[in-house]
Each structure stands twice: as C-alpha cells, then as structure tokens.
A and B are shown apart, each in its own frame.
Chain A
C-alpha cells in the first residue's frame, strides 16, 4: 500500500509546528498526535523514512 507522500518537513518558529510538503501541497501541521498528518510524519520519522529539519 502506498504511503502519504511527504517530500519535506521543517519545524516552524519555536518548534510551534511543522511546515511540510505532502502530496505536492505546502501545509502547516500542528504537533498533535490526533492530527492525521502529524501522526503520519511521526510514523515516517520513527521508521527512518523522513527527517524534520530544524527551525530557522
């Protein structure tokens, strides 16, 4: 089964959120485990498939 396609992820200012590109759309994801995008980002990070860049 295909996964949600996340091509980049970077923490926002103060690590308040994650700015990500998912399925070619730029989105801002909250750090909420009940949010499905955050859950998928965390799953891919835990699986070693994705790295979240530090905030500027």
Chain B
C-alpha cells in the first residue's frame, strides 16, 4: 500500500491515522474539509437543521466506514448492516423509553444493542461463511428482512411502525441551558452537547477503524479478500477472520445506531432499518471507494449533499422536459434513486475503485502495491 516508515520516525498526525493517508492531494483536501466542517459545524451554521445534518453526516461516516471493513477489506457483501444499525438504535430507544432519561439506562440500552449486534454478526457469519462467502450475502438479506418485520410486528416492545419517542439524559436534552447568554457567540445547550458527543465518538471510531485495517488483523483480511485459498493455506482460519470482521462491523454499526437514536430522540423502522438506508450505505461506500475508509467517508458526505441538490436539479429537468411525458417522468424529483442507481452501476462497471481508489491509483504518494 503506502510507504511504511518505522513508528518512531512517524509524526503524531501520521500515527493518529495509523500511517494510512488518503493518498492523493484531492482526497486529502476533501477529508480535511469534511473534518473541519464537522468539527466546527455549530459555529459555521446557524440553524439547528444544518447542525443536525452535520451530525447525520458524522453518523453515516461511521456507518459507511464500518461497512467498508466488510465490503472493501474483507470482500463480503452484507445486506444486514442496517439491521445492526437498528439494533443499536432500538437498544437506546427501548431502554430510554422504558425506564426514563437516565445515563444508566442509556449505557445499558446501548451495551445491550451493541452486544446483541456483535453476536448476531458472528452467528450469521458462522452459519453462512462456513459454506461459501456468497451465501453470506443472501442470508444477510433474509435476516435483515426478518429484523424489519419483527420491528414492526413486536408492537409492545418496539412501538411498531410508529416507533418510539423518548427523552434523553438532561445534559443532552434541548431544554438544557446552563448559561442564559451565549458563550463566545455560541448558545451552549443540550443540542450542542449531543452534537459534540456524536462528533467525538464518530471521529474516535473512524480512527479506530483506520488502526484496525492497518493492523496485522487488517492485513490478514485483505489477504483473504485477494486469495482466500492461499490465506487458508498459509494457516489463517478464514472463517474465524471473516466472522470477527463481521462482528466488529456489526458492533460499529450498532454504535452508529445509538448515536442516531440520541440525535433524533426517536427511533422507528423507517429511520434505521429500512432497505433504502442499506442502499444509501452501498452507494456511499462504492462511489466513495471500497477498501479505503476515506472513500466511504467522502461518499457519505457526498450522498447527503446529493440528496439536498439532486432533487431540485431533477425538478428543473422535469419542468424543462414537460412536453415529453416519458422523459419528464424519468426526471421526476422522486426518481433520484434511478439516477444514483445508474451512477452506482457505472462506477461498479468502469471505476470499481471509486473516487478515492481512482485518485490513489494516480496519486503522488501511491507506492508499490
């Protein structure tokens, strides 16, 4: 991959990134902008909606990056990532809705959700990867659909289709105002605390993932992805490594789910379990660049921006083509998924390395592979 200098000679910044940089000035610039905007979002944007969008981007960066651990580094396609996302969110939602807004409930709920997600991740992996990696994709699809149905059927526990609305601990609640006056021009309130909780946890998780994929464990995963048979012949238990990767990715997705629940103070099947979120994650990771971690992060930011700007653009095209009904129907704002789907197919066919991967391939820093 990249030049590998001994740890002692590496700068603190490089060590923080586990020696793994975006690998191209453009990618580095995009990442720097992303981190800067997310770090200072409450100062940069006035409205609560913009800040909530920034928090959503941070959560999706973790969700997409953890998915990349499976897709890009381990080479298996899971369709159950939203299930783990949902388990984390439901863990928090059920605990807080059931026993009131206390920190202990929050911790118990998230620990239960995260632990259950990790166990389920291992279980699915052991059942399917024992046979063929391709079974994993099909079985995760089936399990994810069961999760969705269960969440809407077990009305007493999950609130069914309506979901659960709950209060968060006072420190994180919007009604928390320790100071009447803004401090340095910023209103300190629960929303701000929630935002920075989300930002810091997301940042730490992302750095942890970077550490993980650049560790010996991550190297074995990549070896398995490149040549499963050879990795097995070298003595690595392929099933064990893939199952562990599945469990870690599941746990990370569940943590992202707990953050989502805290952000929205609500959770329902549509917000965390729906298949359209799974598709969003796939688009983020593949378009951004599989197996780079930075790619999914940039992809997550681009997807959120696209959802803001693609619909107005399509609206404009739909009005422009109004005389031709079929053409106009293709440009309906609701059809944005059609265009993203096309883009996704084109990327898979012609640029399988995605944005960051393609940049790296021609990057200044890319060394012998």
The answer to whether A and B belong to the same complex is: no
